[in-house]
Amino acid sequence: MPVTIHDVARRAKVSASTVSRALGASHHVRGTTRDRVLAAARELGYQPNPAAQSLITGKTGNIGIVVPDLGNPFYTGVLRGVQSRARAGGYAVFFADCEEDASAEEALVRSMARQVDGVIICAPFSSDTQLNGLRSVTSLTLLNRRLRGVPAVFMDSAGGMKQVVDHLAALGHRRCAYLNGPHNAWSNRERRRGLRAAAARRHVAVVEFGPFEPKFSGGVQAADLALASGVSAVIAYNDLMALGVLSRLADRRVAVPDEMSVVGFDNLLYAAVCAPPLTTVAMPMEAGGRAAVDLLLAGVGTPADGDPTPCRELSTNLIVRATTAPAPDSSSAARPAPPPGPGKVTDTDD
Amino acid sequence: MPVTIHDVARRAKVSASTVSRALGASHHVRGTTRDRVLAAARELGYQPNPAAQSLITGKTGNIGIVVPDLGNPFYTGVLRGVQSRARAGGYAVFFADCEEDASAEEALVRSMARQVDGVIICAPFSSDTQLNGLRSVTSLTLLNRRLRGVPAVFMDSAGGMKQVVDHLAALGHRRCAYLNGPHNAWSNRERRRGLRAAAARRHVAVVEFGPFEPKFSGGVQAADLALASGVSAVIAYNDLMALGVLSRLADRRVAVPDEMSVVGFDNLLYAAVCAPPLTTVAMPMEAGGRAAVDLLLAGVGTPADGDPTPCRELSTNLIVRATTAPAPDSSSAARPAPPPGPGKVTDTDD
DNA sequence: ACTCGCTCCCCAAACGGTTGCAGAAATCGT
DNA sequence: ACGATTTCTGCAACCGTTTGGGGAGCGAGT
């Protein structure tokens, strides 16, 4: 039923190989012949069979991407960037949601491996060992995860965190809570690293909680802990959690930002929309997706040379909205003093 | 480099065809031989080449899905359902975002056609003619769009709208605005149809605006128009628009729900989270995605028989939250009114 | 006229599997 | 022990495409 290269060949009265050459590398085929072939192909509506092509060329024209959670707009943002760039380059894209499970992530990459030219793993949950195992099965590019020898694009979370701390310190906050995201997430480690460095420099004390699920419900859960710890500001791992915090604080009649400041990460649409609009760090999601595709496609076919593994770092920036304000007067002691909670206190004011 | 069926055959000291049979249809291969083959395959880490398989079998083991807007959580919701069901059935999934452009949609389906066993088109923007053209190129299943002879799953938008109108009428609203989504969207037509029928029955006047972009910005734009029209309630095409309306009304110091009631469609996470939480109609997004996959896979390989084209309708239901309240100038809503029974009850005071 | 060198096209062999067919081996009855 | 029957395995063709090598045709140089 589908039209093959032989149908075109018959109609153009040439051989199949001539058709192939006329459509592809125009090497060694006369102009008039090529025109005839092209016309025949168009009339018949010929579309080459990708399976047959990839069987012989070894290239599939596809790339894959696996993300931890399709419900998180951050990942759908990078998905968007990936898909638009890939399509523009003539690539089709496979996707999969590993639901924040490392072994599912690995299995998905393996199952994709045979029908793609490479896969992008977004904020991988897998261990370095697992990831290294995957390198032999297909060409990899990572987003927000560092691994020796693997091309990757990073978003400067630590830099964003520095901006957050500077902002908070300028507003007079001396004691902040950080709500951890997943313990093994590179982004969480980076944010924490940036937080500690900046907090030390600005003489801000930090209380840490978590890890929590990086979702709305995680934020709801965390809010009470942060509230009990006597901080004047809480920095959430991401916007979803920050929104959960906001919701819980509203339920408990804690005024934001007057009694408590809240900061998130990602700059989702909903951060701008909610009441009050959330102060947050904008992450370049679509740009990250596009950059990952560029790196992946550039690396295809390049064996392990002596040249360094290509990386790209994308900058982030703080967007100040309505959930941050000057710290309430610390002498008022409206809230109970810091109790011995499950939080770990990193007091750098010495 | 990759291990082929011949490598396995050599190691197991059988022919390639025996390996093929041992791994696939276990017909006609001795138990001991099969064990030997399986062991060899496992030791070598053999994975069949899907391109070669699909070349000969004609099946690819892939399905495709195209959605209008990856930035809309409604579509990422169905994407989730699709991907989980497809993976469970051993299928990999291609996806694409047509950005609400009909011709892009058609082009994307065509480009996928050769490497999938079928594609799901989610809330298609294409014309019936375009869609019919696509039927010849691959097997289709539609979500929220009716087309003669094409399997489809529907969400009962009209039924949801009826619940909305009943709710609003019971609260004493006599005059509502409807903010149209895309003019050619099946869902929008269904919602409007349901609205007109229910409004007539309940003696509620309806003012329509739009079409608008089904996004936050569209709602912001629409809010002023609705406000100027003197209605006491506004029904938005979807939650994104409803959130836009909420935001604009807050800016203009219009109290929700006391001065104006607002209703959306979709029941996105953010509808539950925002302040005030949005009254909305829950659409079964993931279930819809799963159902679409089931229909698609059931239809694969079934030629045009005399049997009816399979369809599934999923029910929707209203979720009342904090954006709907009795109409401001409605004295009748202040005291308990007789519940509206189907058919017999008529409003007399008009 | 013969050879040389081009240009252009066709033949045929892959790529990695699946499957119809036929032949070999095992099983069985007598 | 021998053929009949069943069970297993190998051979080879095929799916649709790309690609190296060879050959036909032809103009030009000597």
pLDDT single digits (tens) A297-311 = 987 655 555 667 889
Within 13 Å and on the Cβ side, how many CA atoms surround A201? 14
Say how many C-beta atoms besides its own lie within 10 A of residue B36's C-beta. 18
Residues linked to residue B266 through DSSP beta bridges, in sequence order: B282
Is the residue at B342 inside a domain? no
Query: Which of A68, A76, A85 is CA-nearest to residue A121?
Result: A68
- Residue A335's pLDDT band (boundaries 50, 70, 90)? very low
CA distance B51 to chain A (A): 5
Partner residue facing B94 (CB), from A52, A94, A243: A94
Mean pLDDT of chain A, nearest integer:
90
Q: How many CB pairs below 8 Å do chains A and B form together?
A: 119
Within 13 Å and on the Cβ side, how many CA atoms surround A262? 36
Helix (H, G, I), strand (E, B) or coil at A268: coil
Is the residue at A184 inside a domain? yes
Is the residue at A28 inside a domain? yes
- Per the model's pLDDT, the better-predicted residue between A316 and B304 turns out to be A316
Q: Judge if A100 and A150 occupy the same domain.
A: yes
- Total domain count, chain A: 3
Q: Judge if A245 and A336 occupy the same domain.
A: yes
CA torsion, ordered A244, A245, A251, A254, to nearest 10 deg:
-160
Q: Which of residues 206-235 of B touch strand C (CB under 7 A)?
A: none
CA distance B276 to chain A (A): 9
CA gap B108, B91 in Å, rounded: 19
pLDDT at A164 over 80: yes
Say how many C-beta atoms besides its own lie within 10 A of residue A2's C-beta. 12
Which tokens in the block code for residue A202?
A: 């600005």
Task: Judge: A52–B55 Cβ closer than 8 Å, yes or no.
Answer: yes
For A8-12, A80-84, A179-183, A273-277, which range has the lowest pLDDT when averaged over its residues?
Answer: A273-277
Q: Judge if A189 and A67 occupy the same domain.
A: no
CA closest to C1' of C6 belongs to A28
Nucleotide nearest to A28 (CA to C1'): C8
Task: Judge: B47–A114 Cβ closer than 8 Å, yes or no.
Answer: yes
- Residue A30's pLDDT band (boundaries 50, 70, 90)? confident
Task: Judge: A270–B275 Cβ closer than 8 Å, yes or no.
Answer: no
Q: Judge if B327 and B188 occupy the same domain.
A: yes
Task: Judge: B274–A269 Cβ closer than 8 Å, yes or no.
Answer: no
Partner residue facing B274 (CB), from A94, A108, A275: A275
CA distance B108 to chain A (A): 9
Query: Which of A60, A63, A188 is CA-nearest to residue A120?
Result: A63
Is the C-alpha dihedral spanning B247, B253, B257, B262 positive or negative? negative
Q: Give pLDDT, residue B262.
A: 97
Q: Give pLDDT, residue A253.
A: 94
> CA at B27, C1' at D4: how many angstroms apart?
23
Query: Which of A285, A295, A266 is CA-nearest to residue A86?
Result: A295
Question: Within chain B, which residues score under 50 in pLDDT?
Answer: 332-350
Partner residue facing B52 (CB), from A55, A92, A111: A55
CATH number at residue B12: 1.10.260.40
Q: Judge if B139 and B238 occupy the same domain.
A: no
Nearest-Cα residue of chain B relative to residue A247: B273
Q: Give pLDDT, residue A331.
A: 44
Is the residue at A57 inside a domain? no
Task: For residue range A190-221, list pLDDT tens digits in order.
Answer: 999 999 999 999 999 999 998 999 999 999 99
Q: Give pLDDT, residue A344.
A: 53
Q: Looking at beta carbons, which residues of chain A come within 8 Å of B2?
A: 114
- Owning domain of residue B260: 157-283+317-334
Is the residue at A32 inside a domain? yes
Q: Judge if A183 and A205 occupy the same domain.
A: yes
Q: Give pLDDT, residue A26.
A: 66
Q: Judge if B190 and B307 occupy the same domain.
A: no
Q: Give pLDDT, residue A307.
A: 67
Task: For residue range A34-79, list pLDDT tens digits in order.
Answer: 888 899 999 999 999 999 999 999 999 999 999 999 999 999 999 9
Q: Are B169 and B204 in contact (CB under 8 A)?
A: yes
Query: Which of A336, A278, A128 is CA-nearest to residue B273?
Result: A278
CATH number at residue B230: 3.40.50.2300
Nearest-Cα residue of chain A relative to residue B272: A247
Own/partner contacts of B334-343, CB < 8 Å, gap of 24 or more, are B334/B172, B337/B170, B337/B172, B339/B170, B340/B166, B340/B169, B340/B170, B340/B202
Q: Judge if B238 and B322 occupy the same domain.
A: yes
Q: Judge if B181 and B91 occupy the same domain.
A: no
Task: Judge: B83–A94 Cβ closer than 8 Å, yes or no.
Answer: no
Helix (H, G, I), strand (E, B) or coil at A209: strand
Answer yes or no: is A18 CB < 7 A from strand C. Answer: yes
Helix (H, G, I), strand (E, B) or coil at A336: coil
Q: Judge if B174 and B221 occupy the same domain.
A: yes
Is the residue at B349 inside a domain? no
Q: Are B248 and B224 in contact (CB under 8 A)?
A: yes
Q: Looking at beta carbons, which residues of chain B come within 8 Å of A107?
A: none
CA closest to C1' of C14 belongs to A56
Answer yes or no: is B25 CB < 7 A from strand D. Answer: no
CA gap B206, B191 in Å, rounded: 13
CA distances A96 to A59, A133, A282, A292, B64, Å, are: 21, 19, 25, 16, 12
CA distance A94 to chain B (A): 4
CA distances B257 to B59, B223, B243, B274, B332, Å, are: 55, 14, 13, 14, 17
Answer yes or no: is B4 CB < 7 A from strand C. Answer: yes
Q: Which of residues 231-260 of B touch strand D (CB under 7 A)?
A: none
pTM summary value: 0.88
Helix (H, G, I), strand (E, B) or coil at A127: coil
% of chain A at pLDDT higher than 70: 91
Q: Judge if A149 and A275 occupy the same domain.
A: no
Task: Judge: A273–B270 Cβ closer than 8 Å, yes or no.
Answer: yes
Q: Judge if B310 and B323 occupy the same domain.
A: no
Q: Give pLDDT, residue A350.
A: 35
Backbone conformation region of residue A144, classed left if phi is above 0, alpha if psi is from -120 to 50, else beta: left
CA gap B48, B60 in Å, rounded: 13
CA gap B16, B11 in Å, rounded: 11
Nearest-Cα residue of chain B relative to residue A217: B273
Chain B residues contacting A, CB < 8 Å? 2, 47-52, 54-55, 60, 62, 70-71, 73, 76-77, 79-80, 83-84, 87, 92-97, 108, 110-115, 216, 243-244, 247, 250, 269-270, 273-275
Task: Judge: A92–B115 Cβ closer than 8 Å, yes or no.
Answer: yes
Is the residue at A108 inside a domain? yes
pLDDT at A312 over 70: yes
Say how many C-beta atoms besides its own lie within 10 A of residue B201's C-beta. 18
Is the residue at A55 inside a domain? no
